[in-house]
Amino acid sequence: MMTTASELTLESVLEIWQSTTTRLEQTHLVLQAEVRRLTDELEEKNRQLAKKNRLADLGQMAGHVAHEVRNHLVPLTLYLSLLRRQLNGANQNSLPLGSLSGITLLDKVDANLTAMRTMVQDLLNFTANRQPQWSEIQLQAVVLELFEEIQSQCEAQGIALASEVPVQANLCGDVEMLRSALRNLLLNAVDALPNGGNLLVQVREDDRSVRIDVVDDGEGIPTDVMDRVFDPFYTTKPTGTGLGLSIVERIMECHAGQIHVQRMEPHGTCFSLSFPRNHSNYKREGTRG
């Protein structure tokens, strides 16, 4: 009798265990389905949010472009009108800007067209989704080439250029992107030295990274705007799109690198570009065919 009771008890336990296991499996399936549903819903919400953010960015960009184009079209219309009247033999003294010669008016037209062309190019660079074309870059050659581009302007402003880039310094990256990033930083430094000064490019490297510093001894970036210098369309200059540093930041993201800015003592600014020494994308592409 005791044996039978024991067997019945074991059988009951097994039945309870089987029943509980079945309910747990069903509950697990229900929870899995709910997790999938919530995951799909979250992904859809994220897609909608990303779309709204893109539309908001495009709206801001459109407003900025419209504002800048209008600012350049208004004087263009005036200059062309004056030039037309001059060519038609109108009395220059009766014109608001009658003292301006035809050549001067054409120079002003050209300057406004150049400004608009620069703005459009900055926007294209900002919105471009081009992937880096990986190659080995000799940094000294790139820096010296960019120094040649800005040499005349630096001489006119009394800016002394200096390079501390070892001959053997190199990194893996897209040479055109790197050139664009450094050009932006150099031109910003030149703008920060309207009354002359010193502009230095130096490279420091180790086994893990390559760092390029662009240092000027100008007045420096005000502390209250330091956190905003990489924001699209933000600029403290009277002219410009405010996209230059945003473009540099995007280039660094494409290279899995980072850009940092700091104030120098007693004055000046240092922008640092840090590139990983061995980038995985470059290594994978380098092993193809």
Nearest to 225 by CA among 237, 212, 241, 207: 237
Q: How many domains does the chain have?
A: 2
**HSE value, Cβ hemisphere, 13 Å, CA-based, for 130:** 12
Structural domain boundaries enclosing 67: 1-127
Which residues are within 8 A (CB) of 138 and not within 5 positions of it... i.e. 6 or more apart?
169, 170
Verify that 118 and 22 share a domain, yes or no.
Answer: yes
Residue 275 near residue 173 (C-beta atoms within 8 A): yes
Residue 259 near residue 230 (C-beta atoms within 8 A): yes
For residue 76, the model assigns a pLDDT of 76
For residue 289, the model assigns a pLDDT of 31
Which residues are within 8 A (CB) of 177 and not within 5 positions of it... i.e. 6 or more apart?
132, 251, 254, 255
Residue 150 near residue 186 (C-beta atoms within 8 A): yes
What does the block give as tokens for 172? 């893996």
Q: b or e along 20-59 (b: 16 or more beta carbons within 10 Å of the residue's beta carbon)?
A: eeeeeeeeeeeeeeeeeeeeeeeeeeeeeeeeeeeeeeee
Which of 89, 109, 127 is the last residue before a domain boundary? 127
Verify that 156 and 199 share a domain, yes or no.
Answer: yes
Verify that 214 and 85 share a domain, yes or no.
Answer: no
For residue 125, the model assigns a pLDDT of 63
Which of 111, 127, 143 is the last residue before a domain boundary? 127
Which of 90, 107, 127 is the last residue before a domain boundary? 127
For residue 288, the model assigns a pLDDT of 33
Verify that 143 and 268 share a domain, yes or no.
Answer: yes
One-letter amino acid at 11 equals E
For residue 145, the model assigns a pLDDT of 95
For residue 95, the model assigns a pLDDT of 47
Verify that 147 and 266 share a domain, yes or no.
Answer: yes
Dist CA 278 CA 206 (whole Å): 11
Quickly list H helices, the chain: 2-87, 102-127, 139-157, 175-191, 244-254, 280-286
For residue 271, the model assigns a pLDDT of 97
Residue 60 near residue 242 (C-beta atoms within 8 A): no
pLDDT mean for each 10 residues of the chain (289 residues)? 54 81 89 89 82 65 66 74 73 51 76 72 64 92 95 94 96 92 94 95 94 95 83 69 81 92 91 84 40
For residue 194, the model assigns a pLDDT of 93
